[in-house]
Chain A
Amino acid sequence: EAGVAQSPRYKIIEKRQSVAFWCNPISGHATLYWYQQILGQGPKLLIQFQNNGVVDDSQLPKDRFSAERLKGVDSTLKIQPAKLEDSAVYLCASSRWTDFSYEQYFGPGTRLTVT
């Protein structure tokens, strides 16, 4: 079974530029999560999708961050314009909605550096 795929793995941009990250979850996983992991901290949920609908985006800075999950499979996370404090690893995870253990499987992450 293929794991959660993310691209790019690394990205360096200047502040005020825009950037987009892509995630392909494990096949059959209805729930998709985007987490932000700032250096030295644990991951923090940005947004959660159930199929192509948003379940929780309460911690997403909506003035600059946006995300979509068209057709309930792949997802993109966009930052526009980026700020220095957006430097972090962006993790995508997926899980089965019906899995009793609700285990989340993580992708390798995208490391963003904003200069």
Chain B
Amino acid sequence: AQTVTQSQPEMSVQEAETVTLSCTYDTSESDYYLFWYKQPPSRQMILVIRQEAYKQQNATENRFSVNFQKAAKSFSLKISDSQLGDAAMYFCAYRFNQAGTALIFGKGTTLSVSS
């Protein structure tokens, strides 16, 4: 069975600084997607960034980038130039690459941003 592990329950960063959130996963599949979702307090979950396992190039979305290490089954999220609005719970998620399959989430990392 696939599992996703986030070993950092809480992280903190100052505005304009860079922070990295860690995620490891376990799967025997070779074709899958990995995601980072953001869940602000009392607000709905939104997709931050996705990575397809077959793509060697790390995904980047503005200030968000990932370090995808397929052999090590590691998928970390780097947030550059942190902003107060980045404060949220961040979830790492896995999905087998087949139409309609559900996401498997980690337990999440709470990120706080201070000014």
- Contact partner, A50, options B95, B100, B107, Cβ 8 Å: B100
- CB-CB under 8 A from A56, the residues of chain B are 102
Find out whether the CB atom of B108 lies under 8 angstroms from the CB atom of A106: no
Per the CB 8 Å criterion, the residue count for chain B at the interface is 23
Find out whether the CB atom of B107 lies under 8 angstroms from the CB atom of A108: no
- CB-CB under 8 A from A42, the residues of chain B are 4, 91, 93, 105-108
- Mind listing 18 A-B residue pairs with CB under 8 Å? A31-B100, A40-B107, A40-B108, A41-B107, A42-B107, A42-B108, A43-B91, A45-B102, A45-B104, A48-B100, A48-B102, A56-B102, A97-B99, A102-B95, A104-B103, A106-B45, A107-B44, A108-B43
Q: Which residue of B lies closest to A91 (CB)?
A: B45
B16 part of interface (Cβ distance < 8 Å): no
Find out whether the CB atom of B100 lies under 8 angstroms from the CB atom of A95: yes
Interface members, chain A 8-64 (any B CB < 8 Å): 31, 33, 40-45, 48, 50, 55-56
Chain A proximity mask over B82-106: 1 for CB below 8 Å, otherwise 0: 0000000001010101011111111
Interface of A is mostly: loop
Q: How far is the CB of A114 from chain B (nearest CB, A)?
A: 19
Chain A proximity mask over B16-35: 1 for CB below 8 Å, otherwise 0: 00000000000000000100
Interface centre among B44, B95, B97, B101 (most CB of A within 10 A): B44
Find out whether the CB atom of A109 lies under 8 angstroms from the CB atom of B44: yes
- CB-CB under 8 A from B104, the residues of chain A are 45
With A42-B4, A42-B107: A102-B101 Cβ-Cβ less than 8 Å: yes
- CB-CB under 8 A from A44, the residues of chain B are 105
Find out whether the CB atom of A102 lies under 8 angstroms from the CB atom of B100: yes
Q: Which residue of B lies closest to A42 (CB)?
A: B105
- CB-CB under 8 A from A45, the residues of chain B are 102-104
- CB-CB under 8 A from A31, the residues of chain B are 100
Q: Report the separation of the CA atoms of residues A55 and B107 in the bound assembly, to the nearest whole angstrom.
A: 24
Find out whether the CB atom of B105 lies under 8 angstroms from the CB atom of A43: yes
Q: Which residue of B lies closest to A49 (CB)?
A: B100
Chain B proximity mask over A84-103: 1 for CB below 8 Å, otherwise 0: 00000001000101100111
